[in-house]
Amino acid sequence: MGKGGLRSKRGGVSPESMDELCINTIRILSVDAVEKANSGHPGLPMGAAAAAYVLWDKFLRHNPSNPHWPGRDRFILSAGHGSMLLYALLYLTGYTLPLMEIKRFRQWKSMTPGHPEYGRPPGVEMTTGLLGQGFATGVGMAIAAEYLANYFNRRGFNLFTHNIYAIVSDGDLMEGLSYEAASLAGHLNLGRIVYIYLDNKISIEGSTEMTFTEDIRSRFEAQNWHVQKVDGYQLEEIANAIEQAKGERNKPSLIIARTHIGYGSPNKQDSADAHGAPLGKEEVRLVKKNFGWPEDKSFYVPKEVLGRFRRAREKGERLEAEWNSFFERYAKGYPEMAKSWEQMMKGSLPDVWKDPLPDFLPEDGPMGTRYASGKVLSSIAPKIFSLIGGSADLGTSIMTYIPSLGDFDKDRGGRNIHFGVREHAMGAIFNGLALNKLTPYGGTFLIFSDYMRPAIRMAAMMGLRVIYVFSHDSIGVGEDGPTHQPIEQLADLRSIPNLTVIRPADANETVYAWKVALENRTGPTALILTRQRLPIIDRRRYADAGGLKRGGYIVADPEEGSPELIIIGTGSELYLAIDAHEGLKTEGIRSRVVSLPSWEIFKGQTKKYRDHVLPPDIKARLAIEAGSPMGWRDFVGLEGEIISMESFGHSAPQDVLFDKFGFSVKNLVMKTKGLLDK
C-alpha cells in the first residue's frame, strides 16, 4: 500500500481507496492530536493504523453503543503510549467520545488521557502504558473467557465465543512479564488470544538491533504459540493472518507485523524521533501532503470515512441484539444460571456470610493466620463460583489451594490456577480476571509481592476487586533468613493509593478480613498473614474481632479509670500487646490495647471514632509491628515509641528472632515504662 492520495477519483471512492482513507484518517487524527497537545506519541498510531483498521473493521465484535456488552471481543492496546490510535478508533466507530475530546488530548479532566485508562474514554478495556501489563492482563481475560464459557455455556448455547485481541510492541516483549505470561498462556492452550506485535525495529534509544535481537518466532514457538509473520501494510495478508489465528483454538497466536514507526513522515519514519514527541508543525504539514490530506486543516475527518466507520454502531447493535435474544432464550432454559450471571454482572457476590462461618476459640489455637485464611476460603469458595485463584507455586504454603475445586488446566472448570513461579504474571492475570467480572484471590509470600508490584498498582488504579493473599509476613518466616523476611513490604503496600491492606491479629480477625475484602468493590485488598502460629485471642475476655471492620478498635482497657498509655499492635504482635497490658495491670499501670489491622480503613472512619480509639490527649503511645516503622508516627506522633524493624532480618528460628529484635512482652513493658517516665 502506498502513501496514496486522499481520493482515487472525484465523486466516488473505490473500496481500496476507502480503506486507505480510513487508515490515513486514524494516522492524521493522531498526529494532529499530539501536535495540539504538544505532547504524546505519534509514531505508533501512524505505523499501526493499517493493522488496527483491519482488525477493527473486519474482525472485532463490539458495540460502540454499549462498551459493556458481555459478548464483545476484548481489544487491548498494550503499547498504551500509542493511545491516540485507540481514541481515533473509538471516536470514529462511534463510542461516546466526541471529536472535541480528541482535541483535548492529554488535558486536565479530558476523556483522552496520555495513556488509555480503564473506561476512560468508554471502550477502553484496561489501563495500559506500563509495558507488558496489557500483554499479561489479556492472558487473564482469556482464562476468564474459558472459565466463564465452561461455567455458563450449555448445549446449543455458546454464550462466550469472544477473542482477546491486543496490539503489543517491542517494549512489551522485552519486559520479563510478557515471557512469564506467554509461557503460561501457551501451557494453558489459550487459543482465544490473538496478539499483533508491531515489529518496527525502533525503541527509544534507537534501533532494536542495539538490544533486542532474539528470534521472536522461535521464542514464542518454544512457548507453544502459533506464530505468523506479515507485512503490516498488506491488508489482505493481515486479514488472512487474523483469520488463521482465530482458527487456532489450541494455541495463543502472535502475528508479527513488520511495521514502520511514524509511517508516512518523510523525515521521521523509522526513527526514534517519531516515538515520543510531536512531529513539529512543518513535518505535520509534510505528512499531510504525503497522504494527500488538506494541509491547512486539523482534525479533518472526511465525511465518507466517518460514515464508513460508523457502520460499526449499526453492526454492533445488531450483534448485541442477537446476543441478547440468545441470552433471553438461555435464561428461559436455565433460569438459575441466568440469575447467577446477572448477579455476577452487577458485581455482587452471593451473601455467604449468612451461612455459618468459621469461628475460632482459644483452644483451636495456636494457629497461623494463613491457616485461618485457608479455612475461611475453603468454606466460602465452593459457594461463590466467581471466586477463582491460585498461587505462584506456593498454594500449599499460603493455603489457597482448595482440592475440591479442581485445577484450571485442560479442565476449564477447575478453579485452582497454578501460576508457576511467575508472581508478576499472576498479578496481571488477576487483573484480567477481575476486569471480566470474576473475583480473583491468591498470592505468594509477602516478600515476593515485590515481584508483582506494578500489577498490584494497576489493580488499585483500575479499582478492581482483587484479593491478595500474602503470607509469611515478617521475620516470623524464621530460618529462611533476610532474603525471605519482609521488612518494608507492609509499608510499601500501605503506600499504594486505593489498596486496602489488612494484617489480622488472629484467626477471628482473619475471618472479618476476608469479609471486608469480598465486600470491597472499589479496589483490591491485601491480606497479610503469618507463617507462624499465633494464639487465638479470647474474645469472651477481649473485644470482638468484628472491630476489624473499622480498621482499628479498642481490644482491652483498664478495668477502672482511663488509660495512661496506649499500645497499638497489628497481626502477630497484638497478642504480645495484650500480654503486656495484663502484666502492666498487675503493676497498677493502666493501658489500652488497640488493634490496628488496617490503616486505610481506620483513616476512613470519622474523626470522632478515631479520637475515641486514640484520644488526642493520651500522648504516651507505643506501637509494635514486626516491619518497617515507616508511617507509624501517623498514630504515635513524635512523642510515642515504635518497636519495629530498622534493618534486614536474620536467619534463625522465629522465636529467637522475635526475642532478639525486641518483639517481646518484656521489651514492651520496658518501653511503656520509659514512655511514662518521660
The residues annotated as belonging to the active site are 423
C-alpha cell at position 212: 533486542
* Closer residue to a copy of itself in complex, CB, 205/336: 205
When the beta carbons of 386 and 471 are compared against a copy of itself, the nearer one is: 471
Rounded distance between C-alpha atoms, residue 433 and residue 139, angstroms: 9
DSSP one-letter code for 120: B
Helix (H, G, I), strand (E, B) or coil at 328: helix
How far, in whole angstroms, is CA 523 from its chain's centroid?
10
Note whether 545 and 509 are within 8 A (CB).
Answer: yes
Q: How far is the CB of 610 from a copy of itself (least distance, A)?
A: 12
Shortest distance, position 460 Cβ to a copy of itself, whole Å: 8
- Residue number, 371 or 401, with CB nearest to a copy of itself: 401
Of 37, 123, 63, the closest CA to residue 88 belongs to 123
Which of 301/624 has CB closer to a copy of itself? Answer: 624
Cβ contact 134:77 at 8 Å: yes
Strand partners, 525: 467, 500
Distance CA 204, CA 81 (A): 12
Largest CA distance in the chain: 99
Which residue, 62 or 494, has its beta carbon nearer to a copy of itself?
A: 494
**Can you tell me the distance from the alpha carbon of 667 to that of 650, in angstroms, rounded to the nearest whole number?**
19
In 3-state terms, what secondary structure has residue 367? strand
Min dist. Cβ of residue 114 to a copy of itself (A): 4
The Cβ of residue 338 has, within 10 Å, a number of other Cβ atoms equal to 16
CB of 431 closer than 8 Å to CB of 462:
yes
Minimum distance of a copy of itself from residue 658's CB (angstroms): 12
Indicate the residue among 21 and 446 with the shorter CB distance to a copy of itself: 446
Nearest distance from C-beta of residue 427 to a copy of itself, angstroms: 11
Omega prior to 121 cis, within 30 of 0: yes
Please state the closest distance from residue 497 (CB atom) to a copy of itself, in A. Answer: 5
User: 487 vs 545, which CB is nearer to a copy of itself?
Assistant: 487
Rounded Cα gap, residues 480 and 341, in angstroms = 45
- Strand 553-556, strand 565-569: pairing: unpaired
| φ, ψ dihedrals at 176, nearest 5° | -55, -35
Q: C-beta of 568: minimal distance to a copy of itself in Å? A: 14
Q: For residue 48, which of 91, 9, 79, 19 has the smallest C-alpha distance?
A: 79
